Amino acid sequence: MESTVFSDEYFMQEAIKEAKKAFDADEVPVGAVIVCNNKIIARAHNLTERLNDVTAHAEMQAITSASNFLNGKYLDGCILYVTLEPCVMCAGAIAWAQFSKLVYGASDTKRGFNLLSEKKILHPKTEIISGILKEECAVLIKTFFQQKR
């Protein structure tokens, strides 16, 4: 029996589940999963409020978790799915980790790494795909900040 190969949309749905956990915890709702060989090896959501720590973005925690799982700091066989375009800090971490692929949902026009030059930040081997389930990803963020105003 052949194993099912899941789509980018499937894994982005899993990242959205993480973002919803952040939303419910009154955190800026961003979620991430890391996939290796078609399996999720790390899940995380933003915890900057709970941990009182600006470095506790979903991507950063997912990277730490995946590295721990794989017992290696390079994630060059892995794909990172994240509901929002990574910020510069997270893009820097994604570069160090040498991901094979970055897939993000909604764009972040204020803090996203594309405001700088993505080619210079990310590792040259990292493929980038954006816009996967972007409406579903964006609506969480929009709703969150509308409630705050």
Question: What does the alpha-carbon distance between residue 111 and residue 21 come to, in Å, rounded to a whole number?
Answer: 22
Q: How far is the CB of 30 from a copy of itself (least distance, A)?
A: 13
Q: At what angle do helices 58-70 and 8-24 cross, to 10 degrees?
A: 120
Q: How far is the CB of 56 from a copy of itself (least distance, A)?
A: 8
Q: Which of 59, 127, 135, 136 is catalytic?
A: 59
Smallest gap from residue 140 Cβ to a copy of itself (A): 20
**Rounded alpha-carbon distances, angstroms, from residue 54 to 5, 36, 49, 90, 126:** 35, 27, 8, 11, 25
Is 27 a catalytic site residue?
Answer: no
Q: What are the tokens at 40?
A: 């999720």
Q: Which residue, chain included where needed, has tokens 């692929």?
A: 101
Contact 80, 99 (CB under 8 A): yes
Closest approach, Cβ 48 to a copy of itself, in A, equals 6
Nearer to a copy of itself, 72 or 135 (CB): 72
CB nearer to a copy of itself: pick between 92 and 131: 92
Residue closer to a copy of itself (CB basis): 40 or 121: 121
Which residues of the chain form contacts with a copy of itself (CB under 8 A)?
48-49, 51-55, 60, 63-64, 67-68, 71-74, 87-93, 95-97, 115-117, 120-121
| Pair type for strands 127-130 and 78-84 | unpaired
Question: CA-CA distance, 107 to 114, in Å (whole number)?
Answer: 9
Nearer residue to a copy of itself within complex by CB, 16 or 41: 41
Active site residues: 59
